[in-house]
Copies of this chain bind each other. A is one copy, B any other.
Amino acid sequence: MAMTKLVYSFNDGNRDMREVLGGKGANLSDMTNLGLPVPPGFTVSTNACNKYFEDGQKLTEELINSIKVELEKVEKSLGKKLGGSKNPLLVSVRSGAPVSMPGMMDTILNLGLNDETVEAVALETSNRRFAFDCYRRFIQMYGDVVLGVPHYRFERKLESLKQNEGVTEDTKLKAESLKELSEDYKAIIKKETGEDFPQDPKEQLLKAVEAVFASWNNQRAKLYRQINKIPDHYGTAVNVQAMVYGNMGETSGTGVLFTRNPSTGENKLYGEFLVNAQGEDVVAGIRTPKPILELEKIMPEVYKELNDISYKLEKHYRDVQDIEFTIEQGRLFMLQTRNAKRTAAAAVKIAVDMVNDNILTKDEAILRVDASQLDKLLHRQIDDGSHVEHIATGLPASPGAATGALVFSADNAEKLVEKGKKVILIRPETTPDDIHGIVAAEGILTQRGGMTSHAAVVARGMGKPCVCGCEALNIDIMDKNVKIGEETYNEGDIVTIDGATGNVISGTVKLIDPELSDELITFLGWADDVRQLNVRTNADTPEDANKAREYGAEGIGLCRTEHMFMAQDRLPIVQQMILSDSKEKQQAALDKLLPFQKEDFYGIFKAMAGLPVTIRLLDPPLHEFLPNAEELAKEINEMKSEAKPAYKIKEKEQILKRIKSLHESNPMLGHRGCRLAIVHPEIYDMQVHAIFSALEELKKEGIDAIPEIMIPLVGEAKELKIVKDNVLKVANQYSHLDLDYKVGTMIELPRACVTADEIAEHAEFFSFGTNDLTQTTFGYSRDDAEGKFLPAYIDKKILPENPFVSIDEKGVGVLVDLGVAKGRKVKKNLKIGICGEHGGDPQSINFCQKVGLDYVSCSPFRVPIARLAAAQSYISQKK
C-alpha cells in the first residue's frame, strides 16, 4: 500500500486539498503559491488526525518523523531553530478542519518558548517586555489547551497583578512583572497538574499537535458539527507556522478583515484591528478593536498593501474573503484567508453584485446563497414607524429583531427554552462554551467585542439577531442583572434587540412582515428562470394565499379543509354533525356547514385566480373535532355534585358516550381520510358541493379558478375509485357549467407507493404527503417520537437528522421514487407534487428534483426558499 503523506509544507499544498490540509492549511499553501507574505510553516494533515484516533490517540513514529522533517525545512528557511538558544524559532499551532468551524477548536501561539529561549528572544528583539509578554501568554494557552488547567486560574493571577501594579491594561505591565507572572503561571501548572511546565520545545510541539487533534472531539466542536451537519470523519488538520508578532509595539498590530461587508454585502473593506496585540485578542472580543478604515491613517502603506491583497484574493477565490493578518513592526503578514460567512441579505447582494461585475455566472451566483438562510430575510422586523425608545445601542452584528426574557448564562438559556420561554442571552462576551445558549436563544446581546467577535460570527452563521460591543451595559453575572445608566434589568425582564440597527429596547415591540429587497427579487427571478420544479404553497385562507402569491407561489398545493371546520363559528355545527343520532340530523348539520365551506373556497379560489388550487377533502378522524373526554367527564362529575338537572347531565353523558365510541388507540392509523368518506360519504359530498357552488359563482364573475380535488390517505386503488366516483356524482350536477377540474390523491402510505400503478389508473394527479409517509415508513408517531426518542436518535447518530425536517432518502425516499415510477408507468405525464413540510426544506427539494416531481408545496414564508432551492437542485444535478 502506498504510504499516505501525513505532513505537507506550505509550498507543497494547494487550494484543492481542503480535505487533506483543512481549509486554513489549503489556503495558506495557496497564498504561499500566490507569493503573498505568509510566514513559513507546514500542515499536519487530516489523515494524520484520523490515524491518531484510529491508533487509540497516539502519535506514530512515522508522524513524529514527518513533523521533524518539515520543521527542519522551516528552521532552515528562516535560519532559526526551535529551542535554539540564539535566534529561536517560535511557532503557532492552529487547528484547521476541511469545513470552517470558527473558534470551535484550539490554537496555541508562541510555542517554542521556555526559560532559556525567552531570554534569547528578549535579546534578539531588544524587547524584554515583549518576550515575557509572549511567554506568559504561551504558558497560559498551553496550560489551558494542552494541560487542561482552567483559564480563569491564570486570569485571576493577571488581574491581581494589575491591581498590585495599579494598571488597568495588560500593555502597561512591565517586563519584570510579566516575568514574575510567567513564574506564577508555571507554579499554577505545577500545582494543578503535579508536573513541571515542559521546557523541551519539541515536546511542546508534539503535545500541542495532539491537543489540537483531541479538540476535534470536544463537546462544543461536536455540537457545532451536529448543527451544521459536518461529518465526524473529516478530522482536523494542524497548521504549524512561524510566529509573527502583532504585539511588538505601536508599529505592530493584528486584525481581521472581510473583503465586503458580511452583514449587508456592501462592496467595501470591512473589518477591525488592534494595535500592539496578538490575533486572539481580536477574535475573543476582550478588547474592542478599531474599524479597518482607520488603519489607512495609522499605517497607509500597510493599508494599501492589505487593500491590494484583498482585491487579489477575492478575484482569485471568486468570493468574499475573511482574512486574518498581523503587522510586525510595519511589515504585513497574511495568516489566513477563507470564504467569508455572511448574512442572507449580504449573500444575496454579493451574489447579485458579482454577476453584475461579471465575476460569477448566474448559475454560480444561485449556488452561492444558502437557501435555508433566506428564511432569515423573511423574518418579521421592527416596524420603522413604531418609534420606540431604545435603552442602549451596540454594534449591529447580525440583523433581525428578537424579543425575549434576559438570561445571563448559556445553561439558564437552555433551561428556560426547554420550558417554552423565549430568551435573549446577555453576556459580557461569548466564548465557544456558550454555544448551547446561543442555539437556544432568540438573540444575543454582548457588552464587549466587535463585529467579528465570537458572538457576532456565530450569530450571523445561525441567522440569529445579535447586538454586540454594547458598552453601555454594566453586567453583573453573579447577581444576574445589568445596569444601563440608572436602570437595572434583572433576569426574566423582557427586552427586544434589533440586530440591523444595534438598538436595545425595553419590552416588546410591534414587528412587521418583511419586504423582499430589490436584490432578492432580482436574484429569485434568476432562480425562477432556471428551475424546473414549480413552487406552490400550503394555504388554508385567502390571506395566506395572497401572502404566498406575493412571495412567488404558483398555486396552492395543499388547502386543508379541516382548518375550516375548526373555526369558532363552525365547530359547534361540526360537533352537531358528528354527534347526531340520525341521518336526517346529520344532514341538517352538513347543510348548515355548506355555505361556510362555499365561502371559504370562494375566497381561496379568488385569491389564487389563474393558478391551480389543490383542495384536500377532510382528513382527520372525527374525534379531533370533539371535546376532550377527560375534561367532559370532569364536567359531568361537577354537574352531578352541583345537582344540575338530570336531563342536562344526560345530554352530556350521551356526548361522552359518543366521544368514547369514537376513541381510537392509534388515531394516526385510524378512521380518517378517505376511510371516513367510504363509511360516511355525505361529508365529502357536502365539501364537493361547496367547491362547485363556489366555482359556479366565480364563473359568473369571470374569475378563473383551477380546482384540483385531492383525496387523502388512499392505500388501495379501489378506495380512490369509490370516493372519486362519489365526487364525480356531485360534480356532474354542475356539468352544465362546463368546469375544468381534476381529481387526484395523496400518496402518503407505503402501500400507496407500492401500488401506485393501480392508483394512477384513477388519479389525475399525485401529491406525496411525506409527513404521514415518514410516520408509516418508520413506524414513528411524530407527536410521540419528537418528544420521546427522536432526540436520542439524532444525538447517537442513529439518524443523520430529524426525518420530519429533511426527507429520509434511504427509506422514505425509496418509496417515493417507487411511487413516482409506478405512477408514471401508467400515466406518462402524471402531475406529481409534494405537500408535506418537506416541500420547504432545501435538502428535500433537491430530492424532489432528483426523482422528477413537478412541484413542491410549502408554507407561504418558505416559498422564496423553495424557489431558490429548486434552482440550485437543477443546476447542481445538471453538472
Contact = CB atoms under 8 A, between A and B. Distances in A.
A811 B96 CA distance: 51
Given A665-B784, A749-B778, A754-B810, 19 more contacts: A666-B781, A669-B784, A670-B788, A675-B788, A678-B789, A678-B798, A679-B792, A713-B779, A715-B811, A722-B798, A748-B779, A750-B776, A750-B815, A751-B777, A751-B812, A754-B814, A755-B810, A776-B776, A776-B777
Given A789-B675, A815-B754, A669 B716 contact: no
A679 B630 CA distance: 30
A781 B722 contact: no
A750 B751 CA distance: 9
A664 interface: yes
A407 B411 CA distance: 72
A797 interface: yes
B811 A754 contact: yes
Contacts of A793: 678
Interface string A807-828: 0101110110000000000000
A671 interface: yes
Interface string A750-786: 1100110000000000000000100111111101110
Contacts of A669: 666, 668-669, 775-776, 779-781, 784-785
Contacts of A798: 678, 716, 718-719, 722
Given A678-B798, A719-B798, A749 B665 contact: no
Interface string A659-688: 000001111111100010011000000000
Contact of A678 (B666, B718, B796): B796
A512 interface: no
A420 to B, nearest CB: 16
Given A775-B669, A798-B719, A781 B749 contact: no
A836 to B, nearest CB: 15
A667 B668 contact: no
Nearest to A792: B679
A391 interface: no
Contacts of A716: 798-799, 811
Interface in A788-808: 788-789, 792-793, 796-799, 808
A724 to B, nearest CB: 13
Given A678-B793, A777-B751, A778-B751, A668 B666 contact: yes
Nearest to A775: B669
Given A716-B799, A778-B749, A668 B665 contact: yes
A788 B664 contact: yes
B783 A666 contact: yes
Nearest to A753: B750
A692 to B, nearest CB: 25
Contacts of A748: 779
A785 B670 contact: yes
A328 to B, nearest CB: 51
Given A671-B789, A796-B722, A799-B716, A781 B664 contact: yes
B777 A779 contact: no
Interface string A722-757: 100000000000000000000000001111001100
Contacts of A718: 796-799
A630 B719 CA distance: 37
A199 to B, nearest CB: 44
Nearest to A799: B716
6 contacts: A665-B667, A666-B781, A670-B788, A718-B796, A718-B797, A751-B779
Q: Among the interface residues A722, A784, A789, A812, which one has the most CB atoms of the partner chain B within 10 A?
A: A784
Interface residues of A, number: 51
Nearest to A808: B751
A789 B796 CA distance: 40
A107 to B, nearest CB: 34
A780 B667 CA distance: 9
Contact of A779 (B776, B796, B799, B812): B776
Given A679-B789, A789-B678, A811-B715, A664 B784 contact: yes
Contacts of A664: 781, 783-784, 788
Contacts of A789: 671, 675, 678-679
Contacts of A780: 669, 715
The 9 closest A-B pairs by CB, nearest first: A666-B781, A669-B781, A751-B811, A750-B750, A670-B784, A671-B788, A749-B779, A664-B784, A666-B666
A778 B672 CA distance: 13
Contacts of A814: 754
A751 B816 CA distance: 12
Contacts of A772: 779
A682 to B, nearest CB: 14
A754 B776 CA distance: 13
Contacts of A751: 777-779, 808, 811-812
Nearest to A715: B778
A810 B756 CA distance: 11
A821 to B, nearest CB: 13
A783 B664 CA distance: 8
Nearest to A751: B811
A667 to B, nearest CB: 7
Contacts of A637: 637
Contacts of A630: 630, 633
Contacts of A796: 678, 718, 722
A143 B141 CA distance: 109
A788 B799 CA distance: 35
A671 B815 contact: no
A143 to B, nearest CB: 36
Interface string A590-614: 0000000000000000000000000
A818 to B, nearest CB: 9
A784 B718 CA distance: 21
A633 B631 CA distance: 12
A751 B810 CA distance: 8
A664 B775 CA distance: 14
A763 to B, nearest CB: 16
Interface string A22-35: 00000000000000
Interface in A636-670: 637, 664-670
A779 B715 contact: yes
Contacts of A797: 718
A287 B777 CA distance: 61
A749 B669 CA distance: 14
A665 B623 CA distance: 13
A675 B781 CA distance: 13
A851 to B, nearest CB: 14
Contacts of A788: 664, 670-671, 675, 679
A432 B662 CA distance: 36
Contacts of A808: 751
A669 B665 CA distance: 11
Contacts of A754: 777, 810-811, 814-815
A656 to B, nearest CB: 12
A811 B678 contact: no
Contacts of A778: 715, 749, 751
A650 to B, nearest CB: 20
A661 to B, nearest CB: 10
Contact of A792 (B678, B713, B781, B784): B678
A679 B633 CA distance: 35
Contact of A811 (B670, B675, B750, B775): B750
A746 to B, nearest CB: 11
Contacts of A678: 789, 792-793, 796, 798
Contacts of A811: 715-716, 750-751, 754-755
Contacts of A783: 664-666
A788 B815 CA distance: 28
Contacts of A792: 678-679
Interface string A706-720: 000000010110110
